[in-house]
Amino acid sequence: MRTLKLTLSYDGSRLVGWQRQAEGDSVQGLLEDALARFEGGHVTVHGAGRTDAGVHALGQVASVRVTFAHDPPTLVRALNAELPEDVRVLAVDEAAPEFHARFSARSKTYRYHVRNAAVASPFARAFVWHVPQPLDVESMRRAAARLLGTHDFSAFRSVGTDAPDAVRTILASSVWSSPSSSQAPVVAIGPWTSGTSDSGTLLTYEVTGDGFLRHMVRAIVGTLVEVGRGWRQPEQMDELLRARDRGAAGATAPPQGLFLVRVDYD
């Protein structure tokens, strides 16, 4: 047996999420079916994070134990030939026998995009949350910074989370805005945008933590947008963390603006 580490990127727009479902295409199901052609039988693929329907990934990581001997470069080409074009294998690496994509991870980074303008480009609708009302970015920044450290995130935990507790450590939490261009709408407000200029209307929230609860990032973003609208003060993030009440925090932001950016390991 050998253990493989796979790095994936996917557009989750039409997918039912990472986890295999009874109906619809999942990333796990598509990948397991493709690998089964080489293994000659069923394989089980473990993902670093269970992204929901409509959520995207720039750097999802998966692990799998197999017996076939195909070398990594050949596997990258062969798997991408089997997979649909909205799921791509970026790399395949040999891993230690004990490597597990989820349990070996030390941190994950997510990014969420908000298009803050009167009109959103139709080319970016699958990659952003369109919020037409003006947002106070500086207040959102201050609110995001208050999440740093180790806290109980029950206020941002959706019903149905199977994690035994809600304590997580946030290593980075920041909001920035980037310039947009009506001449190149996809490049300007797509998931690959970066920058720190405040002259634009693409708002990005990026967070790194040692783990995340179900819908946690989307619940945080929904709350940050309420801060940006002036419905809450940045200091109220402290109260939400202490209260541990999901009903007291903001609504869960829609899935299409969320990206799993990377997973870090020792």
Catalytic positions are: 52
Q: In Å, how far from its chain's centre is CA 220?
A: 13
* Residue written as token pair 């690998």: 35
* Strand bridging mode 167-178 / 202-209: antiparallel
Residue 5 to residues 45, 46, 104, Cα–Cα distance (Å): 10, 10, 11
How many Cα atoms are found within 13 Å in the side-chain-facing hemisphere of 182? 4
The encoded tokens of residue 83 equal 């997979």
Residue 221 to residues 72, 78, 200, Cα–Cα distance (Å): 38, 38, 19
137/145 Cα distance (integer angstroms): 12
Quote the DSSP letter at residue 253: P
Q: In Å, how far from its chain's centre is CA 57?
A: 6
